[in-house]
Amino acid sequence: MPRYDVFELVTHLRKCPDAYLKPSNLTHPDGLDSVALICDTYRVINLNFLQKEFKLPYANPLKWKKDNEWRAIHMSAWLLSHKVFLNISKPDEKLFMFWFKDLSDASDYVEADQWINDEERAEEMVRLLLNRCEIIPYGESHEEAADKLSSVSSAERHKVLTQSYEAHERIMQIKREMAEKKAREAANTYGRE
Amino acid sequence: MDASSNPQIALTDAERFPLLDDLSFLNALRQDAFAPKFNFKSGDRLNAAQLLKVKAHKAEHCDKKSFWTDGQQPIWLADYLKWCRETVPFYQNNNINNTTDFPTISREDVRKYPHLFVSNDSNLDELLVYYTSGSTGAKLDVLFDAVSQATWLPQIESVLANFEVSITKGKNTTAIALICAQEKTLTYASLSTYLEGAGILKVNLNPSEWNAIGDAKNYLEKYNPQILTGDPLAFMALLDLQPQLTPKALISSAMKLTKGTKDTLENYFKCPVIDLYSLTECRNIAYASGIGHQAIRSDLYLEIFDAHQDIKLPDGERGELVVTGGSNPFLPLVRYRTGDFCSLKLVNGIPYLVDLEARNPVVFFTNAGEKVRTIDISNRLSHLSLAGYKMHQHKDKQIAFVGYSNDVTSEEILELLNGIFKNDCAISVSIQTISQNNAAEKTQYSSELMTP
């Protein structure tokens, strides 16, 4: 059983070669062939270099993806080149969800360069991948891993901020209404209290 | 509740009474030759959906024969707590699972953070606000809606039913008159949609509020309200006018009603005088009966807690009354400390508050250091027709007593108190006569010595 050390994987990710940082050929003519990179990654992880069937989104969604998302996927392909990922069981479904759900969601809030330039974002990508692959990081319990992912998750933070903002807005609205209604007539009083 | 605010923005009568077309009786009440100088206008604000809710409240919570049984909780409680946890910001921050996990809250919490008690489910268009000076505490913004305000009526109907009294509905009768006898308060004539257009009055007996001497008596006699509400001071001030009224009942609240005052009022008005226990924060709770104060509504869960710690006491033990529930979406209460003290007794599924005493559990001391409980003083004074009183013990243990009455003498009080304190305390007694514009404080007992 390999040791999935978050610190080691973050270090590995942050050493991502320039070749993986290029835009996608689906958004730039001189870009990296994203689909080929994905297919190669499936082959490597599956240790099946003759693999011809790959789990990909339908053709059009591939083109709709923004460059920010493609570049995140390219970097994650480098992350997945670490030897510890060669042992993932049934990786196709997990990698598909990681690329096209988890990274896609996070990319709404994370600029591609941050995945390697910002240590916390690098940790976020590592933890998103481990979580999707149902791997508990070395030295952590299931609960600790979930807590740490939650604490670095950009999508989660955005959700909390949105909720906090909405709660704050609601309270401000109540205070405005209170001030306004206090100046108005209320309703009949029938007895003393 | 004394709506001591001074609202600046008035509504139209159509906004005050969305469901009432015929306002002729209201105009008669307002424009009568004997009418007081009303300084305000008010309505019940009920629309059709809200009126249905008031009627549903009556069926669900006022007509029940059993509220909960020994060792059990009311069936609505679990859902109510879940709703509070999910939608009320003040309770959302607590990681709580059931009632035993909920801490108690106090009037101070409600006063400081009224906005945090507003459920996320509530419609702010329905928010109403009273600003009250509060007779026993700091000023308070009370948030409520037209439904929770109007449910006072079915709750009182259920109390009256126990005295075989019912309120006649209809547009040519005055159902309720709230009688005040104070320096200043909001006064108005209004109608009740729930009572099918019956009149509602709030009047102040203060002579400066009327156009001519005798108008207060003449006005009240002319409209002869079915139910008179108010505090003992106001009722004694009314009695002083010797009005020829035939009320079906008097409902006394906000101050302790002594047996002497109750007897005096019942003898004169020839109807039951009901001692009601209610709070601004949740309205009607209980009324005095033989065993103790009988709970009125099944939507208020009552518990007894230690006065100083968050420890629930077993039924039968005396402590602070704590309430959970109510029908106000803008102030849902969970374990709200009332500041009042009693023990709880469940009889056939109905809770009774035994030996209910107002807030501040003061203990007095004789010079020898012997403790004297306020409940014992209240019981001994109760046969006198005192409309109210306050009693204070100074650091040197001297006691100052001020009573409000038109017939009790200071000698009677002194003799009685000397008996209670075993002639081992210096006591001064003064009796103030009751007028039509009293400025009496309502706090009964206070002490500069250590309290329990």
Q: What is the ipTM of this complex?
A: 0.78
Q: Quick one: closest CA in A to B45, which residue?
A: A187
CB contact B303 to A (< 8 Å): no
Q: Is the pLDDT of residue B5 over 60?
A: no
Taking contacts as CB-CB distances below 8 angstroms, the residues of chain A near B7 are 182-186
pLDDT value of residue B7: 67
pLDDT value of residue B447: 87
* 8 Å CB contact of A187 and B231: no
Q: Mean pLDDT for chain A?
A: 90
Q: B52, B22 in Cβ contact below 8 A?
A: no
Of A177, A188, A192, the CB nearest to B200: A188
Strand pairing category for B174-180 and B128-132:
unpaired
DSSP three-state, residue A182: helix
> 3-state DSSP: chain B helix, strand, coil percent, rounded to 5?
25, 25, 45
Q: Is the pLDDT of residue A52 over 60?
A: yes
Of A175, A187, A190, the CB nearest to B115: A175
Please give the helix or strand (H or E) that residue B335 lies within, else none. strand B333-347
DSSP three-state, residue B429: strand
Mean pLDDT score, B400-415: 92
Mean pLDDT score, B331-359: 92
Cα–Cα dist B257/B378, whole Å: 10
Mean pLDDT score, B331-360: 91
Place B250 in a pLDDT band, splitting at 50, 70 and 90.
Answer: very high
Cα–Cα dist B12/B275, whole Å: 35
Nearest to B117 by CA among B424, B108, B154: B108
- Using CB atoms and an 8 Å cut-off, which of residues 356-415 of chain B contact chain A? none
Q: Is the pLDDT of residue B359 over 80?
A: no
Best of B1, B13, B117, B185 to disrupt the A interface (most A CBs within 10 Å) is: B1
Report DSSP letters for B84-107, one per residue: HHHH-HHHHTS---SGGGPPPB-H
- Tell me the pLDDT tens digit for each residue of B199-227: 999 999 999 999 999 999 999 999 999 99
Mean pLDDT score, B159-171: 96
- Tell me the pLDDT tens digit for each residue of A159-192: 888 888 888 899 899 999 998 888 888 888 888 7
Cα–Cα dist A180/A97, whole Å: 50
* 8 Å CB contact of A182 and B7: yes
Given strand B188-192, what is the order of strands in its sheet?
Answer: B188-192, B198-204, B174-180, B227-230, B249-252, B273-279, B283-288, B293-295, B350-357, B333-347, B319-325, B300-305
Q: Mean pLDDT for chain B?
A: 90
pLDDT value of residue A166: 85
Alpha-carbon distance A184 to nearest alpha carbon in chain B (angstroms): 5
Alpha-carbon distance B397 to nearest alpha carbon in chain A (angstroms): 32
Alpha-carbon distance B430 to nearest alpha carbon in chain A (angstroms): 26
Q: Quick one: closest CA in A to B151, which residue?
A: A190
DSSP three-state, residue B164: coil
* 8 Å CB contact of B149 and A173: no
pLDDT value of residue B101: 78
pTM of the model: 0.75
* 8 Å CB contact of A192 and B231: yes
- If you compute the radius of gyration of chain B from its CA atoms, what whole number of angstroms results? 22
* 8 Å CB contact of B156 and A182: no
Which residue has tokens 């309290």?
B451
pLDDT value of residue B450: 62
- Tell me the pLDDT tens digit for each residue of A102-156: 999 999 999 999 999 999 999 999 999 999 999 999 999 998 999 899 889 988 8
Q: Which of B143-147, B239-243, B362-366, B434-438 has the lowest mean pLDDT?
A: B434-438
Tokens coding A81: 């080149």
Cα–Cα dist B203/B209, whole Å: 9
DSSP three-state, residue B214: coil
* 8 Å CB contact of A174 and B141: no
pLDDT value of residue B386: 87
Place B135 in a pLDDT band, splitting at 50, 70 and 90.
Answer: very low
Q: Is the pLDDT of residue B6 over 80?
A: no
Of A174, A185, A193, the CB nearest to B1: A193
Place B38 in a pLDDT band, splitting at 50, 70 and 90.
Answer: very high
Place B452 in a pLDDT band, splitting at 50, 70 and 90.
Answer: very low
pLDDT value of residue B204: 94
Q: Is the pLDDT of residue B245 over 50?
A: yes
- Tell me the pLDDT tens digit for each residue of B60-87: 888 888 999 888 899 999 999 999 998 9
pLDDT value of residue A61: 65
Taking contacts as CB-CB distances below 8 angstroms, the residues of chain A near B146 are 187
Nearest to B308 by CA among B280, B285, B339, B278: B339
Mean pLDDT score, B250-271: 93
Place A47 in a pLDDT band, splitting at 50, 70 and 90.
Answer: confident
pLDDT value of residue A191: 84
Q: Is the pLDDT of residue A50 over 50?
A: yes
Taking contacts as CB-CB distances below 8 angstroms, the residues of chain B near A175 are 115
Q: Which of A138-147, B99-108, B331-340 has the lowest mean pLDDT?
A: B99-108
Mean pLDDT score, B27-47: 96
Q: Is the pLDDT of residue A62 over 90?
A: no
Q: Is the pLDDT of residue B405 over 80?
A: yes
Cα–Cα dist B307/B313, whole Å: 10
Q: What percent of chain A has pLDDT over 70?
A: 97
Give residue B382's identity as a one-letter amino acid code: S
Mean pLDDT score, B123-129: 93
Query: Residue B158's CB: how many other CB atoms inside 10 A?
Result: 18
Place B361 in a pLDDT band, splitting at 50, 70 and 90.
Answer: low
Q: Running DSSP on this structure, what letter comes out for residue B60?
A: I
CB contact B147 to A (< 8 Å): no
Q: How many CA atoms lie within 13 A of B48 on its CB side?
A: 0
Best of A164, A172, A181, A190 to disrupt the B interface (most B CBs within 10 Å) is: A190
CB contact B57 to A (< 8 Å): no
Q: Is the pLDDT of residue B174 over 90?
A: yes
Tokens coding B220: 């009240």
pLDDT value of residue B8: 66
Which phi and psi (to 5°) does residue B230 adopt? 160, -170
* 8 Å CB contact of B253 and A178: no
Residue ranges of chain A whose CB lies within 8 Å of a chain B CB: 167, 170-171, 173-175, 177-178, 181-193
Tokens coding A45: 């992880």
- Tell me the pLDDT tens digit for each residue of B283-314: 999 999 989 999 999 999 999 999 889 999 99
Report DSSP letters for B224-236, one per residue: --SEEEE-HHHHH
Mean pLDDT score, B269-294: 94
